[in-house]
Structure 1
């Protein structure tokens, strides 16, 4: 293939152009967390829950309400996106925009840098303030070491879901699939059963998110396991991979924990109730140095992921 033919094949691959365009736009023009349109989705989800989630009802009724509420919101978004895709003149631009909205690479990296700085300065108040919007557990009762472990887990899972999960579903179904995945993850976050009012109502959203997560997060876990300490990481996956309550995040935490010999998981307090969680990974409690190592490790693997996905989209002519 000549150089001109190769360039022509790139310019006609709309999936690849949308991927690179979205990554570049996300790099140059990231959406501030406070202004992100997905925050509107979260607010709507809370309003819907207040209407249909009734704690006095029995288990089956609350579970059914959870499934129906999830279907109402997600299928409505799905239908609207399909309708919009039929009306736009430039489908590639739509897919680029949807992927740009779904990605959250920049904010996760910024959170990692801010948290690492606060953690290295032993600033517990700032660490709690940074983590509070991203986790459901009580940050006020966490010690500095507990904040380090919570921060490490938050950064790892945020990269997994908000970057790799989005890119994986983009490769499967384009920008629509990517944004629908983020919407599903958002519902699982807002209606998390760790919040007392969603103890039953939120299980459907968690189960669906777990299904959507299992392939991309496990692929990322295997990618993280490659290289130095690969044997230890793979052995950890065999021993602890199925211990976590969610299969995708469990593999990701185990692979990272064993790769860097970090202690992750363990008991956590939600709504002033102590919940037992399996202990994963190694024996070292995460420090500021380890937070930086997590950032570096996952960032390197994300670049590899982008390259591999680009090659696959090039050879398989994309999904658009």
Structure 2
């Protein structure tokens, strides 16, 4: 019977907590030196160097080492957090703290804006050094245009994987789910399978992150398509969709789709070959009317902010629906 229906209590606080924590992370961001993820990055890097000293070992052995290292780096910490969560008298507050520890987008945004200012002062060498925090690829051969393009791509992709995906997993499973995903993402970034050292060792965590970040990539693509025109984004995808099998592997289907939508929204060309550890990886060029410039870095940040605001708006709508439900029933 309808009058016996009650909105689940667990769904009441989660979107509200999400809004509060995101607001806190924007107004009171932790400095990079004191952020928990910074410490975990150092740990992941050291563990990778210890467990994977020789990337020329047999592929199967590297897969096994990567899988075991993944378990060592995540299971004990998550088990400890789960135990604390079970004994916590304020589990919602604990969830909020976990989500706060997973968000460091303001650092990315600040770094990107610093690089933009450096490029506008024509200090290309300094900008290349600053971009190390955002780019894995080789940077010493990038022009100002190439660096601007790489940063636009990185910001759009990182926004989806680091922010949207984390928030979606928080909505789906609370703070522990968000933390689990974020730890895996840090491992994937530190043991990146695009590098020679992580080509096989980082493959297990890379596949896992690709699967877990897929909903966020689809959400980001949908947001950009709705904001800037589904037809325009579809036309961009059809025009640029001339990939060989190797190029598809280097791009990935969903990241490629997201970059097509971003190129259509920015009206700037993206994609093209990149170098990792002196190895050239072919990628399809996503051609637009103009090449990116330094000023387009802030435009890419605007795209990411729109996606973030869309998700936050959906969380607010959920809260309003719950309020309406409670008032009526």
Shorter-chain TM-score bucket reads 0.7 to 0.9
RMSD, aligned CA: 2.5
| Residue equivalent to 2:51 | 52
Of the three residues 296, 308, 320, the one matched with 2:314 is 308
Contact 2:166 2:178 in 1 (8 A): yes
CA distance in 1, matches of 2:175, 2:184: 14
1:240: how far off? 5.1
Question: For residues 221-232 of structure 1, what are the structure 2 equivalents within 5 Å?
Answer: 221-232=221-232
Q: CA deviation at 1:111?
A: 2.4
3-state SS of paired residue (2:275):
strand
Question: Which segments of 5 or more consecutive residues in structure 2 lack a partner in the other structure?
Answer: 1-7, 324-329
Q: Is 1:20 the counterpart of 2:26 in the alignment? A: no
Q: Assess if the C-alpha contact under 8 Å between 2:108 and 2:134 holds in 1.
A: no
Query: What is the alpha-carbon distance in structure 2 between the residues aligned to residue 36 and residue 99 of structure 1?
Result: 12
**Could you tell me how far apart the structure 2 residues matched to 1:51 and 1:294 are?**
37
Residue 284 of structure 1 is matched in structure 2 by 290
TM-score, L = length of structure 1 = 0.88
1:308 positional shift: 0.6
2:281 and 2:142 map into 1 onto residues whose CA distance is: 14
Mapped to 1, the partners of 2:56 and 2:282 lie a distance apart of 26
Q: Gaps spanning 5+ residues in structure 1: where?
A: 1-8
* 1:254 counterpart residue number: 260
Alignment partners' CA distance in 2, 1:203 and 1:98: 27
Q: Structure 1 residue 144 and structure 2 residue 162: aligned?
A: no
Change (3 A) 1:31 1:59: same
TM-score w.r.t. length of structure 2:
0.86
Correspondence list, 1:167-316, <5 A: 167-237=167-237, 243=248, 245-312=251-318, 315=321
- Taking the aligned partners of 1:276 and 1:257, their CA distance within structure 2 comes to 18
The DSSP-based 3-state class of the residue aligned with 1:284 is: coil
* TM-superposed deviation, 1:148: 0.9
Distance 2:44 2:313 in 1: 35
Distance 2:213 2:310 in 1: 19
Task: Name the counterpart of 2:31.
Answer: 32
Write the distance in 1 (CA, Å) between the matches of 2:227 and 2:117.
28
Distance 1:248 1:75 in 2: 28
Q: Which SS does the other structure have where 1:26 is aligned?
A: helix
Per mean C-alpha deviation after superposition, the further-off stretch among 109-118 and 185-194 is 109-118
**Matches of 1:201 and 1:264 in 2, distance apart?**
29
User: Matched residues in 1 for 2:179 and 2:44: separation?
Assistant: 16
Whole-angstrom CA distance in 1 between matches of 2:127 and 2:261: 25
